[in-house]
Structure 1
Amino acid sequence: MLDLSMIIGDQTVAGTTTFDILNPATGELVGKAPNATEDDLERAVAAAKAAFPRWAALPDAERKAICGKLAGQLEQDAESIARVLTMEQGKPLGGMGSRFELGGAQAWAGYTASLDIPVKVLQDDNEGRVELHRKPIGVVGSITPWNWPVMIAVWHILPALRAGNTVVIKPSPFTPLSTLLAVKAMCEVLPAGVLNVVTSDDTLFNVGAAMSAHPDIRKIVFTGSCGTGEKVMRSAAPTMKRLTLELGGNDAGIVLPDCDPEAIAEGLFWGAFINNGQTCAAMKRLYVHDSIHDAVCDALVAYSRNVKVGNGLDETVHLGPINNKKQFDKVRALVASAGKEGNVLIGGAPDEGLFYPVTLISELDDQSPLVTEEQFGPALPIIRYTDVEEAIAQANDSTNGLGGSVWSRDIEAAKRIALRMECGSVWINKHGAIQPNAPFGGVKRSGIGVEFGEEGLFENTDIQVVFQ
Structure 2
Amino acid sequence: MTTTFETVSFTYESLLEAIQPASGGRPINDPATGQQIGLVAEPGVAELDDAIHAAHAAQRGWAARGHEERSELLTLAADAIEANAEALAQLLSREQGKPLNGPNARFEVGACSAWLRATASFTLDVETIVEENGTLAELFYRPLGVVGAIGPWNWPMMISVWQLAPALRMGNTVVIKPSSMTPLSVLALVEVINSILPADVLAVIPGGRDVGERLAAHEDIAKVMFTGSTAAGKAIIRSSADTVKRLTLELGGNDAGIVLPDADPDAIAEDLFWGAFINTGQTCAALKRLYVHEDIYEEVCEALTAVAKNMPMGIGLDENNVLGPLQNKAQFDVVARLVEAAKESGARVLLGGEPEVDQPGFFYPTTLIADIDNQNPLVIEEQFGPALPIIKYSSIDEAIKMANSLDVGLGASVWSSNKDSAREVAARIEAGTVWINKHGAVDPRVPFGGAKQSGYGLEFGVEGLKQLGAPQIING
Report the TM-score when normalising by structure 1: 0.96
Query: Does the Cα contact within 8 Å between 1:249 and 1:280 map onto a contact in 2?
Result: yes
The separation in 2 between residues aligned to 1:267 and 1:456, in whole angstroms, is 27
How far is 1:60 from its partner?
Answer: 2.4
- What amino acid is aligned across from residue 102 of structure 1 in structure 2? V
Shift of 1:125: 2.2
**Structure 2 residue aligned with 1:327:** 331
Determine the C-alpha separation between the residues in 1 that align with 2:120 and 2:324: 32
Find the partner of 1:242 among 240, 246, 262. 246
Contact 1:3 1:32 in 2 (8 A): no
| Contact 1:4 1:180 (C-alpha < 8 Å) held by counterparts | no
238-247 or 51-60, which moves further after superposition?
Answer: 51-60
Range with bigger deviation, 123-132 or 215-224: 123-132
Asked if the contact 1:261/1:292 (under 8 Å) is kept, the reply is yes
Superposition deviation, residue 97 in structure 1: 1.0
Q: Is the 8 A contact 1:5 1:34 kept in 2?
A: no
The 2-side partners of 1:302 and 1:444 are apart by 35
Q: Which residue in the other structure is 1:131 paired with?
A: 138
- Deviations along 1:156-187, whole A, 9 cap, x unmatched? 00000000000000111111111111101111
- Residue 352 of structure 2 is matched in structure 1 by 347
Query: In the alignment, is the contact (CA less than 8 A) between 1:310 and 1:320 conserved in 2?
Result: yes
Rounded to whole Å, the distance in 2 between the matches of 1:411 and 1:392 is 17
- Where 2:149 maps in the other structure, the secondary structure is strand
Q: Tell me whether 1:465 sits opposite 2:473 in the alignment.
A: yes
Match in the other structure for 1:430? 438
Report if the CA contact (8 A) 1:19-1:201 is conserved. Answer: no
CA distance in 1 between counterparts of 2:299 and 2:38 reads 46
Offset at residue 444 of structure 1 (A)? 0.4
Question: Would the aligned equivalents of 2:248 and 2:458 in 1 still touch at CA under 8 Å?
Answer: yes
Contact 2:216 2:224 in 1 (8 A): yes
SS state of the match for residue 465, structure 2? Answer: helix
Write the distance in 2 (CA, Å) between the matches of 1:329 and 1:100. Answer: 27
Q: 2:425 aligns with which of 388, 405, 417?
A: 417
The match for 2:277 is 273
SS at match of 1:35: coil
RMSD: 1.2
Written as runs of structure 1 = structure 2, the 5 A alignment for 1:163-202 is: 163-202=170-209
**Distance in 2 of aligned mates of 1:424 and 1:59:** 32
Q: Which runs of structure 2 are paired with 1:41-440 in the superposition (5 Å)?
A: 41-202=48-209, 206-341=210-345, 342-351=347-356, 352=359, 353-440=361-448
Distance in 2 (CA, whole Å) between partners of 1:24 and 1:428 is 34
What does the per-residue CA deviation read over 1:59-103, in whole Å, with 9 as the maximum and x for residues that have no partner? 322222212212111111110000000000000001111001011
Amino acid in the other structure paired with 1:452: F
Counterpart amino acid of residue 325 in structure 1: K
8 Å Cα contact 2:66/2:171 also seen in 1: no
Letter in 2 for 1:68: T
User: 2:459 maps to what in 1?
Assistant: 451
Residue 69 of structure 1 aligns to a residue whose secondary structure is helix
Going from structure 1 to structure 2, the CA distance change for 1:437 and 1:410 (only over 3 Å counts) comes to same
**SS of the residue aligned with 1:367?**
coil
CA contact (8 A) 1:159 1:456 kept: yes
What secondary structure does 1:80 align onto? helix
One-letter amino acid of the counterpart of residue 272, structure 1: A
Match of 1:39 among 38, 41, 46: 46
Percent of aligned pairs with the same amino acid? 52
Structure-1 separation of matches of 2:211 and 2:475? 42
Q: Deviations over 1:252-290 (max 9, x none)?
A: 000011111111110111000000000000000000000
Corresponding residue to 1:20 among 3, 21, 27: 27
The one-letter code sitting in structure 2 at the alignment partner of 1:153 is S
Does the CA-based 8 Å contact 1:5-1:15 persist in structure 2? no
For the residues of structure 1 that align with 2:54 and 2:99, how far apart are their CA atoms?
36
State the distance in 2 between where 1:234 and 1:438 align: 29
Hey, what does 1:11 align to over in structure 2? none
| Pairwise CA distance, 1:354 | 0.6
Kindly indicate whether the alpha-carbon contact (under 8 Å) linking 2:75 and 2:120 is maintained by their aligned counterparts in 1: yes
Matched-pair contact (CA < 8 Å) for 1:4–1:34: no
Aligned residues: 458
Q: Which one-letter code corresponds to 2:101 in the other structure?
A: G
Q: 2-side partners of 1:234 and 1:224: how far apart?
A: 15
Aligned to 1:326, the other structure's residue is in SS state helix
CA contact (8 A) 2:19 2:191 kept: no
Match of 1:10 in 2: none
Deviates more, 1:419-428 or 1:192-201: 192-201
Q: Structure 1: which 5+ residue stretches go unaligned?
A: 7-13
One-letter code of the match for 1:415? R
Q: How far 1:17 sits from its partner (Å)?
A: 4.2
The 8 Å contact of residues 280 and 326 in structure 2, kept in 1 or not, is answered as yes
In the alignment, the residues of structure 2 paired with residue 55 and residue 247 of structure 1 have an alpha-carbon distance, to the nearest angstrom, of 30
**Deviation for aligned residue 1:15:** 7.1
Residue type of the alignment partner of 1:345 = L
* Local SS of the residue matching 2:153: coil
Contact 2:19–2:184 under 8 Å retained in 1: no
CA drift of 1:4 comes to 4.9
Counterpart secondary structure, 2:464: helix
**Structure 2: which 5+ residue stretches go unaligned?**
1-12
Q: Take 1:60 and 1:3, find their aligned partners in 2: how far apart are those partners?
A: 34
Residue 253 of structure 2 aligns with an amino acid whose one-letter code is G
8 Å CA contact retained: 1:15, 1:36 = no
- After TM superposition, the structure 1 stretch with the greater mean CA deviation from structure 2, 62-71 or 101-110, is 62-71
Give distance in 1, aligned partners of 2:472 and 2:273.
47
Alpha-carbon deviation of 1:318?
1.3
